A and B are shown apart, each in its own frame.
Chain A
């Protein structure tokens, strides 16, 4: 068994594609129309083009919004991405106008920060020692 795909619910797939590729720096892997307006839209890291895909999934179910909003209110991220240097990434993303709900924080061996993906979710970035 492998984890090949994980997903986040997004308010707007076009806006999500922009944020996850142009701002965060992922690459679109699959973009296939499904039905009238939805797409099977996945992105991958350019560092691992054949690695785990992130599905930017349309927020279809009303309960998903309730769940997500409750997490956001308490600052709880829905996904975590690994970066080489949280502080450098924080500076880079902040310069691009990204909103952080948690600035870089060293917690033992791990440094984390939490950002808003502008599509309804909080995302944690983390640097862990090898």
Chain B
């Protein structure tokens, strides 16, 4: 599972997809393709975007939801917790040592 996560995050296009889903969750494939093309100048085929989404889905970062005849993609950032559990962040809430 961790390997899937790091593989998913290693690709710049996939990180952009996550950025766009963070702005608005629940996007159709059409919307994701439009955002990549129009906002980022990434002319990737729908099949190519579908493949990126499949990698993100395998990592648990994207989930798909069927609603009637449509299919939407949602962002799930929960798997990112594995990163800070493995390499904890410094505790920024603690008072600084040099504070008088």
Chain A residues engaging chain B, CB cutoff 8 angstroms? 69, 72-77, 101-103, 105, 107-108, 110, 112, 114
Contact = CB atoms under 8 A, between A and B. Distances in A.
A102 B46 CA distance: 17
Interface of B: 24, 27-31, 34-35, 37-39, 46, 69-72
A50 to B, nearest CB: 32
14 contacts: A69-B69, A73-B70, A73-B71, A74-B30, A74-B71, A75-B29, A75-B31, A75-B71, A101-B30, A101-B70, A101-B72, A102-B28, A105-B31, A108-B38
A102 B71 contact: no
A101 B34 CA distance: 13
B32 to A, nearest CB: 9
A110 B34 CA distance: 11
Contact of B39 (A69, A108, A112): A108
Contacts of B70: 72-73, 75, 101
B56 to A, nearest CB: 16
Nearest to B70: A101
Contacts of A77: 30
Given A69-B69, A101-B70, A103-B24, A75 B30 contact: yes
A102 B27 contact: yes
Nearest to B37: A107
Contacts of A75: 27-31, 70-71
A47 to B, nearest CB: 26
